[in-house]
Amino acid sequence: MSNIRDVAKQANVAPSTVSLVLNKTGYVSAEIRKRVNKAIEELNYTPNELGRNLSQKRSNIVGVTMYDITHPFCNTLVKYIELYLSEYGYKTMLCCTSFGRNTEREYLYMLKRHALDGIIANVFSANEPIETDRPLVLIDSFINENIPIVMSDHHQEGRLAASLFIENGCKHVVHLTVNKVMKSPAYERNNVLEQILNGNGIRTDAIELSNHSRELNYFSNMSKLLFDRYPDVDGIFGSEIFICECLKQAKIRKIRVPDDLKMVACDGTYLSELNDITAIVQPFKKIAKKSVDIVVGLAAGEQISAETFEFKASVLKGKTTAV
């Protein structure tokens, strides 16, 4: 493994000159450039990123923390985050927090240790207070007033969902909510939905998601429970996976969708599209882009105020609603 000094020696120049040639920063005469490139070729030299990282005090890596990468919401987001980060020359470190590993602290620590230049975090379970002066942006999460947040307009999501159920003439809507302990801003959509529907004389019931389990099995059981507990339900609002399970359950119970039961899913990823589910579609690209812009900006030393950035959602009409 030859290093930059070997190349310099071989080409009869200084290491810094080799560096200049490599990074195309600053001017180097054509002749010297040729000599350096020849030496690089001869020695089969490859610059070592680790040295550069230390010297520049940056890793060019941004961590993206997500609960579970198999969840459509997560992987759709990650897909675009990775794309946009790569446009800035940043690499994406995947930081999963499932499997009962309490890994969020660890990633935060990596940020502190400069192994990461920044973090884009979803589902930060802030059990302990978080203080960091390093680049951090949250998606759909809240820790404190000092950390910027990016998310879809959950208030509007609630309104869109409510409109759908009203237009479809539902009388009794059951909605799945995230666990309140998480204090997720996403809870707002359920609040708004409930409020509007009740205001229109429509009965609503909420089923609260457990704090931990996200297994398919769990959702399957929840869907059974829903139909058992509310036999006259004619509208369901919940996550895509849950709606999928409800679709199966409805088929088993011979409940016709959308004739006798309308369903609306949140998030609206490929899973809704694939199953023809009516959904409130989150503006994934915009959320990803904004998060990336913020974290990259912060990493570049820009002063970015810790605002909350919201983007409008839209409706995907599928076959789980009549109108």
Q: Which residues bind DNA (CB under 7 A)?
A: 1, 3-5, 12-20, 22-23, 25-29, 31-32, 47-48, 50-52, 54-57
Six token digits for residue 28: 């180097």
Spell out the alpha helix ranges (H) of the chain. Answer: 4-11, 15-23, 30-43, 49-56, 72-87, 104-112, 154-167, 187-199, 216-229, 240-252, 270-274, 284-299
Name the one residue in this structure whose structure tokens are 């708004």. 192
Give me the residue label for tokens 């309104």.
Answer: 159
Q: How far is the CB of 109 from DNA (least distance, A)?
A: 13
14 binds, among DNA, a copy of itself, none (CB under 5 to 8 A by kind): DNA
Helix residue spans in 103-177 (DSSP H): 104-112, 154-167
Q: How far is the CB of 147 from DNA (least distance, A)?
A: 24
Q: Which residues pair with 125 in a beta bridge?
A: none
From 5, 321, 266, 316, select the one nearest 140 (Cα to Cα).
266
Residue 99 touches which of DNA, a copy of itself, none (Cβ within 5-8 Å per kind): a copy of itself
Q: Residue 5 binds which one of DNA, a copy of itself, none, with CB within 5 to 8 A depending on kind? A: DNA
Out of DNA, a copy of itself, none, what residue 22 binds, judged by CB under 5 to 8 A for its kind, is DNA
In the chain, how many H helices and how many E strands? 12, 12
Q: Which is nearer to a copy of itself, 45 or 237 (CB)?
A: 45
Q: Identify the sign of the CA torsion 4, 10, 14, 16.
A: negative
| Residue 60 beta carbon to DNA: minimum distance, rounded to whole angstroms | 11
269 near 61, Cβ under 8 Å?
A: no
In whole angstroms, the minimum distance from the beta carbon of 295 to DNA comes to: 21
Smallest gap from Cβ 56 to DNA, in A, equals 5
CB of 45 vs DNA, minimal distance in Å = 7
Q: Which is nearer to DNA, 88 or 230 (CB)?
A: 88
> Measured from the CB atom, is 7 or 226 closer to DNA?
7
- By a kind-dependent CB cut-off of 5 to 8 A, residue 312 interacts, out of a copy of itself, DNA, none, with none
The residues, any chain, with a CB within 8 Å of residue 113's CB and separated by 6 or more, are none
- Determine the Cα–Cα distance for residues 20 and 63; give it in Å rounded to an integer: 30
Nearest by Cα to 226 from 270, 269, 261: 261
User: Which one of DNA, a copy of itself, none is in contact with 130 (Cβ closer than 5 to 8 A by kind)?
Assistant: none
Give whichever of 106 and 276 is closer to DNA, judged by the CB atom.
Answer: 106
**Shortest distance, position 114 Cβ to DNA, whole Å:** 8
178 binding partner (options a copy of itself, DNA, none; Cβ < 5 to 8 Å by kind): none
Residues that bind a copy of itself (CB under 8 A): 46-51, 53-54, 57-59, 61, 64, 68-70, 72, 75-76, 78-79, 82-83, 86, 91-96, 98-99, 101, 103, 109-110, 112-115, 216, 241, 244-245, 248, 269-271, 273-276
φ, ψ at 175 (rounded to 5°):
-125, 145
